[in-house]
């Protein structure tokens, strides 16, 4: 690859990411059209693409993005309002840009295909042609009038302005305003003070024990705002305290704001507190006011006032400071956006690193073994230290490949948006748990099955609005995507509030296809899971989206290839929930090593619930009925030795039970020895062993021998399915 | 605390307040002084004996001033004690009351 190619590859990737961001932003604008940050990010995306396209001389892209950018700038300036039409046009424009980029990258000619050019022209006219709706700018220049009322003016240039409004109970709470003023005097000079009792009633109504006093003070001092506020600390509950810094200080604050570091975006309140223009108390107070105003205005659906506005209204800070802080905040955001702290690394390099770390884990285990074997006491400390390091290297290396699933999830917004339009359904997508992390390779492989399941939910699950209304449900259907961690696995749930599955219909089809026999004895859940079988669709009419009966079995196969599982649950008329359970990583796991006879096996530690000695009181085994009675809990079990055909020679061997758990199911594995925790580098087995039941992989132990990694899910199933053998000659209940 | 009537005429009264004027006695003081406000046209309060005055006390004085103005009674404060002057200065209320204040040479700096 020459340099230009590399640059083009980077351009393509960057543009792809920007467009993906843009799509997210557009879809979120749908819900929150006034979010200026989102509009800014749209603008940035178009602007950046335009810039870098110009660099490569991709004129068509530059021309088109320029129009989009101009429009977005208008939106940003408030000259054009955003509505769903505009969002639709912008979405289309985004797709158009993607096509343009593809064209420019692949076809080495400047001429655009007629179709693309036509779309471009149409979009440009749509972008410009919308009705210009000027947004009225509120002229909210609140005059600094507080100190002009009653009594002389106070110069605000060099003095702190302190306003104290004592509450009526102050005297009764033992607070005497005079003592605070006397204390204040020790910090500086009270240049001017206005004492007022404006709200004091006359005659009988006046309670002399209630406090009606208000003070406005011009105060000269070198003290910080915080120090001054602390004077009134004891009165905080009984007094409205507002401290406005002197205008002369503004310069100082502005300089400090300017010097604030730009490595992270912070909240406006925090920024102002840091430079000393506000105190924590001010911010807290303003935030309370903000929440209160939101609560009182929920009916109108009004947006909360910006914090800065509230702070100025409360006279605790001047407008220029807020402006500057906002500007600074914006600058920081842009700076961060422009120099995103990521390094692009070739995925194969990362894969190589993970492999090496795997080898490192194995050889460090080997070293430990030698150190132990030869009793090298001086070496054992070092070995332990290295072991800890290897562990953290392993974790960090694996984390490198971890990505949040949120990006994958938000891609489905578009799918839902488009498909619901196509099907004439009103469907919203709710996403939660987007910050859940899992291995990148898993994320990539899960995308197709997820798409399929979501399309299914949209097509089969959610009914048409009329049907929904008739069923007493809101017209808008909901599809929910959720992800969370559960014992070393990630669980991804796709839930819809649609019609749910019809178990009879499924059964009927399954019988017709010969999947089950008449006397099936299947539970409801098992029937639902039949839809993962090949060739079964309950949809009478196949659509372009789904209904052909292929797909669900592919979904299941794909997920199982990732050592995962998929489960379906449904309530007829209420909706369907599909849960996908996937291992977090495909490379290295914490294992638990057990042994039968001379063989060693690894159970993924995350699936081990507990280990217990067979001889223990709370554990009884019933070999005829084939169950373990564990503290009154009935567990199916499996003798690993029997299962893998290497029975113990020594019958006196004391056996142990390892209780393993997978999702909702559990079982006991009976083993001879417990070896404890072991870091396990998963080595895939060759194709020859693909059909092997109960084994998912192998690992190399420190001493060079091989241990097999157990497929817990499969073994639990085997334990459940196990038919008791004819063991009539053995005692019915054996206490081992 | 005590209110002493120094001089009483049909239209005017001259009172002397002794001791402290604080949250502990403002209720009583208010009651007593308000009654006078209803009966006279002119009222003078001698504050020379006020050893201590707090926020509630100052507020009471402000209240009296407000009531007097409403009832067209001429209220004047006289012979402010050191404590009273200190507080009035602190709160910048001397001009609010507008009574002449005599500062004694014996007082510590204000």
Q: Where are the domains of chain A?
A: 3-129, 147-318, 347-401, 403-583, 588-721
Pairing of strands A427-432, A477-486: parallel
SS3 A682: coil
Distance of CA A437 to the CA centre of its chain: 8
A486: its two tokens: 């559960």
Q: How many DSSP H helices and E strands does chain A contain? A: 22, 23
pLDDT at A534 over 70: no
Phi and psi torsions of B8, nearest 5°: -125, 125
Q: Which of A172, A193, A197 sits opposite B92 (nearest CB)?
A: A193
Confidence band of A262 (pLDDT split at 50, 70, 90): low
Closest-CA residue in chain A for B34?
A: A203
User: DSSP assignment, residue A136?
Assistant: P
Q: How far apart are the first and last CA of chain B?
A: 25
Helices (H), A374-405: 377-400
Rg, C-alpha atoms of chain A: 35
Cβ-defined contact of A208 to B60 (cutoff 8 Å): yes
Tokens of A301: 């659906």
B85 touches chain A (CB under 8 A): no
Place of tokens 């939660």: A432
Q: Rounded distance, CA A701 to CA A362, Å?
A: 7
Angstrom distances, CA of residue A139 to CA of A135, A301, A656:
12, 22, 78
Does A264 reach chain B within 8 Å, measured CB to CB? Answer: no
Phi-psi region of A2 (alpha: psi -120 to 50; beta: other; left: phi over 0): beta
Q: Say whether A140 sits in a helix, a strand or coil.
A: coil
DSSP A734: B
Question: Which range is least confidently modeled, A287-296, A482-491, A512-521, A537-546?
Answer: A537-546
Q: At what angle do helices A84-106 and A114-129 cross, to 10 degrees?
A: 150
List A445's β-bridge partners, or say none: none
B92: chain A residues, CB-CB within 8 Å: 192-195
Beta carbons of A162 and A216 less than 8 angstroms apart: yes
Tokens at A223, concatenated: 């003290």
Domain residue ranges of chain B, discontinuous segments joined by +:
2-97
Name the more confident of A318 and A706: A706
Q: Do B91 and A181 touch (CB under 8 A)?
A: yes
Phi, psi of A51 (to 5 degrees): -60, -50
CATH code of the region B2-97: 3.30.750.24
Nearest-angstrom CA–CA distance, A400 and A227 = 46
Distance from CA of B93 to the nearest CA of A (A): 7
Read off the pLDDT of each residue in A705-712 and give the average, rounded to a whole number: 86
pLDDT at A451: 86
As a whole number, mean pLDDT of residues A295-308 equals: 60
Using DSSP, state whether A219 is helix, strand or coil: strand
Average pLDDT over every residue of A396-406 = 82
- Strand A627-630 to strand A673-681: parallel, antiparallel, or no bridges (unpaired)? unpaired
Q: Is the pLDDT of residue A110 over 60?
A: no
User: For residues A272 and A291, what is the distance between their CA atoms, to the nearest angstrom?
Assistant: 20
Q: Looking at residue A295, what is its pLDDT?
A: 64
Mean pLDDT across A472-478: 85
Residues in CB range of A499: below 8 A, 6 or more apart: A460, A461, A462, A463, A467, A572, A573, A575
Place of tokens 């926020």: B55
pLDDT band at A129 (very low <50, low <70, confident <90, very high): low
Asked if residue A666 lies in contact with residue A635, where contact means CB atoms within 8 angstroms, the answer is yes
Contact yes or no for A202 and B67 at CB 8 A: yes
Question: What's the full length of chain A, in residues?
Answer: 736
Cα–Cα distances (Å) from A308 to A289, A292, A314, in that order, read 12, 16, 10
In 3D, which of B6, B14, B8, B3 has the Cα closest to residue B76? Answer: B14
**Domain A588-721 sits in which CATH superfamily?**
SH3 Domains (2.30.30.40)
Q: Identify the closest residue of chain B to A150 by CA–CA distance.
A: B96
Nearest to A209 among B34, B56, B93 (CB): B56
Across the interface, do A171 and B56 touch by the CB < 8 Å criterion?
Answer: yes
Secondary structure of residue A629 in the 3-state scheme: strand
The CA-CA-CA angle for residues A703, A706, A710, to 5°, reads 130
Q: What are phi and psi of A43, to 5 degrees?
A: -60, -45
Nearest of B66, B90, B51 to residue A206 by alpha carbon: B66
The residue among A729 and A509 whose pLDDT is bigger is A509
**CA distances in angstroms from A260 to A257, A340, A400, listed in the order given:** 5, 19, 31
CA dihedral A314, A317, A320, A325 (to 10 degrees): -110
Q: Which CATH class is domain A3-129?
A: mainly alpha
- Residue of A166, A217, A152, A163 whose CA lies nearest to A190: A217
* C-beta separation of A123 from A92 below 8 A: yes
Give just the sign of the alpha carbon dihedral A200, A204, A205, A208: positive
User: Which positions ≥6 away from A674 have C-beta within 8 Å?
Assistant: A592, A593, A594, A595, A611, A656, A658
Which residue's entry shows tokens 């401290």? A243
Contacts of A212 in chain B (CB under 8 A): 59
* Average pLDDT in chain A: 77
| Average pLDDT for A664-669 | 83
- Give the SS3 label for residue A237: coil
Distance set, CA B88 to CA A33, A162, A186, A663, B83 (Å): 57, 19, 18, 78, 9
Query: For A323-327, A351-355, A393-397, A631-635, which range has the lowest pLDDT when averaged over its residues?
Result: A323-327
Neighbours of B100 (CB within 10 A): 10
CB A171 to CB B23 under 8 A?
yes
Nearest-Cα residue of chain B relative to residue A168: B56
| Percentage of chain A exceeding pLDDT 70 | 84
Give the confidence band of A497 by pLDDT, cuts at 50, 70, 90: confident
Residue A639: Cβ-neighbour burial (10 angstroms; 0-12, 13-18, 19+): buried
Q: A-chain residues within 8 Å CB-CB of B67?
A: 202-203
Task: List CB contacts (< 8 A) between B62 and chain A.
Answer: 195, 197, 200
CB atoms within 10 A of CB A149: 11
Segment A199-221 shows an average pLDDT of 84
Q: Do A208 and B63 touch (CB under 8 A)?
A: yes
- Of residues A719 and B106, more confidence is placed in A719
Strands of A239-244's sheet in order across = A189-196, A214-220, A160-166, A239-244
pLDDT, tens digit, 9 for 90 and up, residues B5-22: 888 888 888 888 888 888
State the average pLDDT over residues B19-38.
Answer: 86
Model confidence at A151: pLDDT above 50: no
Distance (Å) from the alpha carbon of A150 to chain B's nearest alpha carbon: 11
Going by pLDDT thresholds of 50, 70 and 90, the confidence category of residue A729 is very low
Among the ranges given (A231-245, A352-366, A537-551), the one the predictor scored with the smallest mean pLDDT? A537-551
CA–CA distance, A672 with A657 (Å, rounded to integer): 9
pLDDT score, position B1: 53
Question: Smallest Cα–Cα separation from B23: which of B66, B51, B54?
Answer: B54
Domain A403-583's class?
alpha beta
């Amino acid at each position: 690859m020459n340099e230009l190619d590399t640059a083009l590859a980077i351009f393509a990737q960057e543009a792809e990411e920007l467009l993906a961001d843009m799509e997210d932003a557009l879809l979120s604008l749908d819900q929150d059209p006034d979010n200026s940050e989102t509009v800014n990010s749209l603008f940035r995306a178009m602007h950046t693409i335009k810039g870098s396209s110009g660099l490569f001389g991709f004129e068509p892209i530059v021309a088109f993005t320029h129009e989009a950018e101009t429009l977005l700038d208008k939106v940003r300036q408030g000259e054009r309002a955003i509505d769903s039409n505009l969002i639709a046009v912008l979405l289309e424009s985004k797709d158009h840009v993607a096509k343009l980029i593809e064209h420019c990258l692949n076809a080495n000619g400047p001429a655009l295909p007629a179709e693309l050019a036509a779309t471009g022209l149409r979009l440009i006219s749509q972008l410009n042609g919308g009705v210009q709706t000027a947004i009225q700018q509120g002229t909210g220049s609140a005059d600094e009038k507080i100190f002009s009322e009653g009594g002389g003016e106070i110069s605000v240039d060099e003095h702190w302005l302190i306003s104290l409004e004592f509450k009526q109970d102050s005297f009764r709470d033992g607070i005497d305003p005079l003592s605070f003023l006397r204390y204040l005097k020790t910090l500086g000079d009270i240049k001017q003070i206005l004492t007022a009792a404006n709200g004091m009633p006359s005659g009988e109504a006046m309670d002399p024990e209630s406090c009606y006093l208000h003070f406005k003070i011009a105060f000269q001092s070198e003290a910080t705002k915080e120090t001054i506020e602390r004077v009134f600390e004891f009165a905080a509950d009984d007094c409205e305290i507002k401290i406005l810094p002197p205008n002369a200080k503004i310069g100082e604050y502005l300089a400090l704001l300017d010097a604030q570091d730009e490595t992270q975006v912070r909240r406006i309140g925090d920024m102002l507190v840091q430079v000393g223009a506000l105190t924590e108390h001010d911010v807290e107070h303003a935030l309370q006011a903000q929440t209160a105003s939101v609560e009182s205005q929920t009916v109108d659906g009004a947006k909360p006032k910006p914090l800065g506005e509230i702070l100025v209204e409360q006279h605790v800070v001047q407008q220029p400071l807020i402006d500057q802080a906002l500007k600074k905040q914006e600058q920081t955001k842009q700076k961060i956006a422009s120099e995103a702290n990521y390094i692009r690394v070739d995925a194969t390099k990362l894969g190589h690193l993970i492999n090496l770390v795997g080898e490192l884990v194995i050889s460090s285990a080997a070293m430990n073994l030698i150190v132990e074997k030869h009793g090298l006491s001086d070496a054992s400390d070092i070995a332990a230290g290295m072991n800890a390091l290897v562990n953290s290297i392993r974790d960090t290396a694996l984390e490198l490949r971890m990505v949040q699933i949120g990006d994958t999830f938000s891609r489905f917004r578009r799918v839902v948006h488009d498909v619901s339009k196509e099907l004439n359904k009103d469907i919203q997508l709710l996403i939660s748990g987007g910050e859940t992390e899992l291995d990148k390779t898993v994320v990539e492989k899960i995308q197709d099955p997820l798409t399929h399941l979501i399309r299914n939910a949209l097509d089969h699950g959610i009914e048409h609005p009329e049907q929904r209304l008739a069923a007493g449900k809101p017209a808008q259907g909901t599809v929910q995507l959720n992800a969370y961690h559960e014992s070393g696995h990630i669980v991804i749930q796709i839930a819809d509030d649609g019609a749910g599955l019809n178990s009879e219909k499924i059964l009927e089809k399954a019988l017709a296809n010969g999947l089950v026999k008449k006397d099936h004895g299947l539970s409801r859940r098992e029937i639902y899971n039949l839809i993962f079988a090949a060739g079964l669709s309950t949809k009478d009419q196949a659509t372009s989206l789904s209904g052909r009966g292929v797909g669900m079995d592919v979904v299941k196969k794909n997920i199982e290839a990732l050592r995962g599982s998929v489960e379906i649950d449904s309530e007829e008329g209420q909706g369907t929930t599909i849960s996908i359970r996937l291992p977090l990583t495909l490379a290295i796991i914490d294992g638990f090593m057990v042994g039968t006879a001379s063989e060693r096996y690894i159970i993924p530690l995350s699936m081990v619930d507990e280990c217990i000695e067979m001889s223990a009181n709370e554990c009884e085994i019933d070999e005829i009925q084939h169950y373990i009675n564990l503290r009154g809990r009935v567990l199916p079990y499996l003798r690993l030795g029997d299962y893998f055909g290497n029975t113990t020679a020594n019958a006196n061997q004391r056996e142990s039970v390892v209780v393993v758990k997978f999702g909702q199911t559990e079982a006991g594995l009976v083993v001879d020895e417990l070896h404890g925790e072991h870091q396990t580098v998963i080595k895939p087995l060759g194709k020859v062993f693909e059909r092997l039941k109960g084994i998912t992989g192998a690992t190399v132990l420190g001493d060079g021998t091989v241990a097999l990694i157990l497929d817990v899910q499969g073994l639990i199933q085997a334990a459940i399915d196990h038919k008791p053998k004819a063991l009539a000659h053995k005692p019915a209940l054996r206490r081992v | 605390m005590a209110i002493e009537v120094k001089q009483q005429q049909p239209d005017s009264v001259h009172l002397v307040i002794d001791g402290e004027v604080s949250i502990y006695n403002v209720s009583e003081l208010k009651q007593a002084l308000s009654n006078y406000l209803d009966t006279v046209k002119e009222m003078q309060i001698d504050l020379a004996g006020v050893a201590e005055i707090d926020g509630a006390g100052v507020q009471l004085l402000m209240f009296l001033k407000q009531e007097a103005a409403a009832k067209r009674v001429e209220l004047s404060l006289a012979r402010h004690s050191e404590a009273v002057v200190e507080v009035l200065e602190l709160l910048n209320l001397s001009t609010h009351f507008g009574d002449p204040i005599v500062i004694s040479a014996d007082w510590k700096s204000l």
